Structure 1
Amino acid sequence: MNVIGQVTVLPQLPSVIGRLSELAYNLYWSWTPQAQDLYRDLDAAIWERFQHNPVRVLLEVSQERLTQAAADAEYVDRYTRVMADFDAYMQKRDTWASGHAPGLAPVAYFSMEYGLHESLPIYSGGLGVLAGDHCKSASDLGLPFTAVGMLFHQGYFRQLLNKEGWQEEAYDELDLTTLPLRPTHTAGGEEVRVKVQIGERDVHVRVWELAVGRIRVLLLDANVPENSEEDRKLTARLYGGNQELRIQQYVLLGVAGIRALRALNVPAGVYHMNEGHAALLGLERVRELVEGGLDFRTATETVASNTLFTTHTPVPAGNDAFAYDLVDRYLGQWPARLHTSREELYGLARQDQLWDGHWVPTFSMTVFALSMSRAANGVSELHGQVSRDMWKFLYEGAEAEEVPIGHVTNGAHNLTFTSQAMRDLLGTVLPQDWTERLQEEEMWQAVEELSDTQLADVQLDMKREMIAFVRRRLREQLTRNGAGAADLAAVEGVLSENALTIGFARRFATYKRATLLFRDRARLSRIVNDPARPVQFVFAGKAHPADNPGKAFIQEIYRMSQEPEFRGKIVILENYDMNVARHLVQGVDIWLNNPRRPLEASGTSGMKASFNGAPNFSVLDGWWREGYDGTNGWPIGEEREYADLNVQDDADAYSLYQTLENQIVPLYYAPPQADAGGRSGWAQTVRRAIQTVSPRFSMQRQVIDYVQGYYLPLTERGALLAAGGSQRAREIASWKSWVRQQWPHTSLHAAAQLPATARPGEKVEVQATVNPAGIKPGELRVEAVLKRGDHITRVPLEAQGDGKYSAQVPLEDSGLYSVGVRMLPEIEGLSNDLEAGLIKWA
């Protein structure tokens, strides 16, 4: 026939289930399995084919099936209950935030990636999933909160493993009309567009809106007809391309992100930069204030006063830095726009780095983020320590422990990753409102009431579901790679529900040491093939497309899985995403993590496994260093640093094997103990994992920590410095300029009467003479600094007049002390003692 046109006939929802469309456009369903079941039960094949996307299901399902569902009383009853729960959630007014943070300013949260659900693949791994979980808990807690990110229309990438086990990347163009998001509109009904200058050209950006419970995520999209073909690719792929592409993407995220908030009249009184990718939002905020009449330094103080920066990695590759000539190309017009000099603006981001054998100044996104904020944090206690040491060069003369970078240990969104079966079981012993009180540790003690049999039954069901999923995915992979009938049939024997099952899934960066398990192949073979006590492993993970060493790790595991001694007992799945992650954390018995300490900033996958009762078996790095208590899992290696990485790997591999063979395997297979009331030691470890990890590492606890430790103080400080046309910010900026000008002319001399030995509690006199060079004495802090090991104690010296200072300094404990004297400038209203960045030692 001659086709003269095409038309799509969309199915119509019967009125009795008519709100399925409304629900499909709110990601509340992504952490509500009963809501997901409503769409899956309309057509399971469509549900699976399109990555569990309810919008796509409603577009593809037949009208006949919708009519059948509307006539099914049981289906309508489930629909009615889900919608009632959804309405109660959305309309709830007495939230945690309303009761505990009523004065909180609206928060604008910026992140390069968001892992909210597998149907929206705009995330690469942990950073994105953490951002997505942060949004979900901000909604749960009732925060005034808006997130800003990028809509990558080819996502990250879909991972394929070829016949040799080598990773290949596929990029699929997202059909935005079939995803649970909508373009934003002005009050007049027009699609919102913002414009940003990148280099010499204007780039137009469409703004999409994603509803996540009570909050929304704004996503920036440069793939619009107004842009050139090259500029449309700026939002094509996450973390694709070279440095030139990345700096342009960072301009989009920061500058266009702020303009999107303004175009939609979204209020914001606190700004949270999730990693340095978002640092350039400070440029646009300063520009707004400069255009409003403030000078550059006052505007910078005002902007920084209510800005928080979270750093996520100590690995250099995760901290972008650009050569000045590249920055000139894309930010060259900004100094004039901000009424400042190139030297002053770039100075806020300067990090001298060794490139090609020469020290050169670079524009560091992390340094700029630290300069443009007055609060900063790492993502675990150890990562906070590592970060303070890593960035202490920005505070010359300071000790690492003084560097103003705190920490908020990461969490995970319990309801996204806890299976419905486990949730139902927990609901039999926890209070009715337990999902709103996840962070309350005492509440979780009720898990002790769960019997061994209850836990074992639920975990066996979850394991069976995971094994079926693994076999299905392996069959798809083998079929695509042209496998024969025998290999396809053998898939049915992959993994056993009766064997101890250990999961390992994460980004395949080399420092995460995915292949550490294979360091002693003969020993691993004995462990896996013990007929009485078998052990099996499931791996998954992506390597960055440019990371060939990471890809080689994947291939090594794949090849090992094909060896006769490991066939069916060691498995690696392709295309690790949130769907694969959920199946693994819900189905394994133990979660394995063995990064090279201290490079794992936090990690969160092990938390999710413990929500489902899988204890952790991990290096004492990141969150597990805080989470391990001797009863809820096992450590690998020691808390120490190694000069030789080979020695470290050998030691950790030996520890892994020893603990697995001598502690974990015997405990898992041991029968229940009569003297423990018929309870087994294994089930008790499972209970402890759930009890201890679920509250302490819930995303609710994490977001509450951010609110109390950062968002509320920044709300107060931001309002104080911005009041009266930024009067206080102007005073602080002026004072800093004066002090920095005078500082080279100040001098400090000190003396101390130190005995060769002293008794604990004895005092020594320390004296100092200061030439303040015109700086008011009340604006100088002169202090003795006692260093004992890695810890310092600061004791202020009292002014005696005529530039003289002295104090009796106590030596509180035994040990070797180093005693020094220093001065630093301070005035009321600084965010920390080191904010001026000036320290002078005698």
Structure 2
Amino acid sequence: MAEAEEASLNIRSADLLFTPIPERIARLRDLAYNLWWTWHPEAQDLYRHIDADLWEEDYHNPVDFLRDVRQRKLEEAAANPEYLAEYDRVMAAFDRYMAAEDTWYRRTFGNANDVTIAYFSAEFGLHESLPIYSGGLGVLAGDHVKEASDLGLPFVAVGFIYPQGYFRQRLDQSGWQEAIYSKLNFADIAATQALTADGREVVVEVDLPGRTIYAKVYRIQVGRVSLFLMDTDIHPNSPQDRELSARLYGGDQEMRIAQEIVLGIGGVRALRQLGIHPTVWHMNEGHSAFLVLELVREKVAQGMPFDEAWREVRAQSVFTTHTPVPAGNDAFPLHLMEKYFNHFWPHLGLTREQFFDLALQQQSWGATFAMTVLALKGSHAHNGVSKLHGHVARGMWHWLYPNVPQDEVPITSVTNGIHSSTWLAPAMRRLYDEALGPDWEEDLDNVALWARVRDIPDERLWEVRQALKGELVAIARERVRQRHLRLGSPPQVWPVLEPEIFTIGFARRFATYKRATLLFREPERLKALLNRSDRPVQIIFAGKAHPADDPGKLFIQQVYQMSQQPGFLGRILFLEEYDMALARALVQGVDVWLNTPRRPYEASGTSGQKAALNGVVNVSVLDGWWPEAYNGANGWAIGEAREYSSQDEQDWNDAQHLYRILEQEVIPTYYDRGSDGIPHRWLAISKESIATIAPVFSTRRMVKEYVTRLYLPVAEMQA
């Protein structure tokens, strides 16, 4: 059965759950089950224009929307000539996209038709209506999948569906983060059962200590790419095992190792049942590295000696490491590995010691089986996610290559980018249509094309930027209103935020190394900066801390409590529940994107790239992607590109420099207005930021690099 027919069968089986849709607009169902709509605002408008209030209430989820919408609303849309004309345009664009033969991949590598790339990740950030992501890693994975679709790659992706997703964030009266979990109803999302060629459901089996665990596989269609997600909340699993895939990054080490066994080993078995036989296996971070062991086991079972099987599997595999923070690299104690794999290593033809040697790493607490080590040893191509991170990773893992100079450690870098269509504000897209031509998105990694941005009239860019800030202010006010209603307390300051004031955005995961509280190092100096009558400033904070990260949660509480103090009240705001919807509003609506990680712990970061695409100016530490982008004219750099003798010295120096450039450069430039009331110098920086960052720090460039530098060289090794 063809993939399109399978998806159609699954969708039709759910038809009775939907409000009856007039035949003239019946394909709204098909569109809802392909996440192509997530990066095409005109497709989302087909639902919004039927019932805007319900679209917001259902949190921009078309599957849920089609279940809840009143039939009268659908009939009105089907009788509206303007709506039908737009419906026909969108569906024609969708059909052209899905049927396109002239993709970048086919034009460039027409003879590489026997290649299939399998991309494994523990999380995928595709849209706020599918909360199976926690932050940057997942959003990067989601953007990677979307770009693979746009470029026409032969590509599938594998992960978990997480019925309870990642947690929803609520702050109590004191500002302490509370984690709220709710069950994800599969009938409400764009997931269908994955089926084999003969129409049978795909359920994989994986052995854990004393029992077999079962995982059912679902399919989510992302443009031309199929994403397969596993779920263990099925019969006949025990209650404990049903919880195994319930939450992203939940539970203790036993749950973590069991999750990663199902992801890596179960993920390979899922693809086998589906009749998919990848030539390239891409591990996005070490969570899925057990797939290497399963691939070797398959070959050994066919009679191949272990060493030869290991070499063949290694030659098929690509590994991307995403973190220079040691705690971000999973490593399991040997006693736990023995418990979970004592039945497995005999199938590899290995002894216990030989098996442990595959990924042995000495930690301060003892010997461990390290997933990053397994992934590095078990893959041919390895990369960090920025040039600086590649350098740091070569230092971190130099011990694995003792006879190689550190600079020659075989870990390259492919700097992260963003899926431009997902993160670009519709108003900015219309502006780029005017400046770059209607087909600019087909050539969006063309640096020369983006030079035309510098010719955009200042008044046009300023008009759009101010409108986007107004939209952000409206969203922020509504979120604050909802929080106070929940807590039963009136807002202390209203209205929240003012659209005319210079606005700084700081939003990311609240890990301590990201230094969210750096701005508060000198509170009185910050108060003076925020409250100047001639050039006031407001700052919006947002972000989640991992549920087990109490220091990160303490940072959130500190920011919140400072925001309630005189001098900060009304000038600093913390918005709870940072997700992709709020992220879009922030990167599109603030004036400056602030990034203050402790160098060199930020592997890449991409939120500043999203901001730059929308004309927001970056003020950032020279860490992650920013050293590659900063040219002295497209934003500001905080501190110096050097190492410090102590973290306190580093924090003090960076804070002093941040205060100075805000006081003397950033804020005065914003408020330096011409006779027309427009900040021309500021807009010159904004345009330079767009022109230099948008074409380079995109997934268009990034995925092309993966194809040409990693995927195809690995595929050619097997030719």
User: Aligning the two structures, in what range does the TM-score lie when normalised by the shorter sequence?
Assistant: over 0.9
Whether contact under 8 Å (2:295, 2:313) holds in the other structure is: yes
1:189 CA drift (Å): 2.5
Match of 2:427 among 400, 418, 421: 421
The aligned residue for residue 395 of structure 2 is: 389
Matched, 1:58 2:92: no
The aligned residue for residue 717 of structure 1 is: 717
1:341 CA drift (Å): 1.7
1:44 CA drift (Å): 2.5
Map Cα deviations across residues 428-469 of structure 1 (whole Å, 9 max, x no partner).
011332112111111101111201101000011100000000
The aligned residue for residue 687 of structure 1 is: 687
1:190 CA drift (Å): 2.4
TM-score (ref. length: structure 1):
0.82
The aligned residue for residue 154 of structure 1 is: 164
Map Cα deviations across residues 576-627 of structure 1 (whole Å, 9 max, x no partner).
0001100000000110000000000000000000010001000000000111
Q: How far apart are the structure 2 equivalents of 1:465 and 1:15?
A: 35
The aligned residue for residue 524 of structure 1 is: 526
The aligned residue for residue 437 of structure 1 is: 443
Q: Structure 2: which amino acid aligns with 1:547?
A: D
Map Cα deviations across residues 614-663 of structure 1 (whole Å, 9 max, x no partner).
01000000000111011110000001111211111010000000000111
Match of 1:340 among 350, 353, 357: 350
Q: Which shows bigger deviation, 86-95 or 592-601?
A: 86-95
Q: How far apart are the structure 1 equivalents of 2:363 and 2:174?
A: 39
The aligned residue for residue 828 of structure 1 is: none
Q: Which structure shows the higher strand fraction?
A: 1
Whether contact under 8 Å (2:595, 2:621) holds in the other structure is: yes
The aligned residue for residue 702 of structure 1 is: 702
Match of 2:414 among 404, 408, 416: 408
1:64 CA drift (Å): 1.1
Matched, 1:634 2:636: yes
RMSD: 1.5
Match of 2:145 among 122, 135, 141: 135
1:398 CA drift (Å): 2.4
Map Cα deviations across residues 339-368 of structure 1 (whole Å, 9 max, x no partner).
12222221110001111xxxx321000000
SS class of match (1:272): strand
Q: How far apart are the structure 1 equivalents of 2:256 and 2:335?
A: 15
Map Cα deviations across residues 750-772 of structure 1 (whole Å, 9 max, x no partner).
xxxxxxxxxxxxxxxxxxxxxxx
Whether contact under 8 Å (2:196, 2:275) holds in the other structure is: no
1:147 CA drift (Å): 0.4
Q: How far apart are the structure 1 equivalents of 2:610 and 2:290?
A: 33
Whether contact under 8 Å (1:126, 1:604) holds in the other structure is: yes
Match of 1:451 among 457, 473, 477: 457
The aligned residue for residue 40 of structure 1 is: 48
Q: How far apart are the structure 1 equivalents of 2:132 and 2:321?
A: 20
Q: How far apart are the structure 1 equivalents of 2:391 and 2:80?
A: 58
The aligned residue for residue 291 of structure 1 is: 301
Matched, 1:483 2:484: no
The aligned residue for residue 669 of structure 2 is: 667
Work out which of the two has the higher radius of gyration on C-alpha atoms and give 1 or 2.
1
Match of 1:245 among 255, 261, 278: 255
1:306 CA drift (Å): 1.6
Matches within 5 A, 1:251-650: 251-355=261-365, 360-484=366-490, 487=491, 490-491=493-494, 493-650=495-652
The aligned residue for residue 10 of structure 2 is: none
Whether contact under 8 Å (2:672, 2:679) holds in the other structure is: no
The aligned residue for residue 11 of structure 2 is: none
Q: Structure 2: which amino acid aligns with 1:362?
A: T
Q: Structure 2: which amino acid aligns with 1:186?
A: T
Map Cα deviations across residues 362-386 of structure 1 (whole Å, 9 max, x no partner).
1000000001001100000000000
Map Cα deviations across residues 654-700 of structure 1 (whole Å, 9 max, x no partner).
000000011111111112399xxx98111111101111110110111
Match of 1:96 among 91, 96, 104: 104
Q: Structure 2: which amino acid aligns with 1:619?
A: V
Whether contact under 8 Å (1:140, 1:436) holds in the other structure is: no
SS class of match (1:601): coil
SS class of match (1:591): strand
Q: How far apart are the structure 2 equivalents of 1:394 and 1:624?
A: 29
Q: How far apart are the structure 1 equivalents of 2:533 and 2:375?
A: 55
Q: Structure 1: which amino acid aligns with 2:683?
A: A
Map Cα deviations across residues 276-313 of structure 1 (whole Å, 9 max, x no partner).
00100011111111111101110000000020000000
The aligned residue for residue 196 of structure 2 is: 186
SS class of match (1:695): coil
Segments of 4+ moved more than 4 angstroms: none
Residue segments in structure 2 that go unaligned for 5+ positions in a row? 1-14
Whether contact under 8 Å (2:511, 2:545) holds in the other structure is: yes
Whether contact under 8 Å (2:529, 2:663) holds in the other structure is: yes
1:188 CA drift (Å): 3.1
Whether contact under 8 Å (2:332, 2:368) holds in the other structure is: yes
Match of 2:78 among 70, 88, 100: 70
TM-score (ref. length: structure 2):
0.96
Residue segments in structure 1 that go unaligned for 5+ positions in a row? 1-6, 720-842
The aligned residue for residue 200 of structure 1 is: 210
The total of aligned residue pairs comes to: 703
1:10 CA drift (Å): 3.6
Whether contact under 8 Å (1:672, 1:681) holds in the other structure is: no
Q: Structure 1: which amino acid aligns with 2:330?
A: D
Aligned CA distance change for structure 1 residues 10 and 30 (closer, same or farther; 3 Å)? closer
SS class of match (2:604): coil
Whether contact under 8 Å (1:673, 1:680) holds in the other structure is: no
Whether contact under 8 Å (2:48, 2:55) holds in the other structure is: yes
Q: Percent identity?
A: 51
Q: How far apart are the structure 1 equivalents of 2:138 and 2:686?
A: 28
Whether contact under 8 Å (1:43, 1:57) holds in the other structure is: no
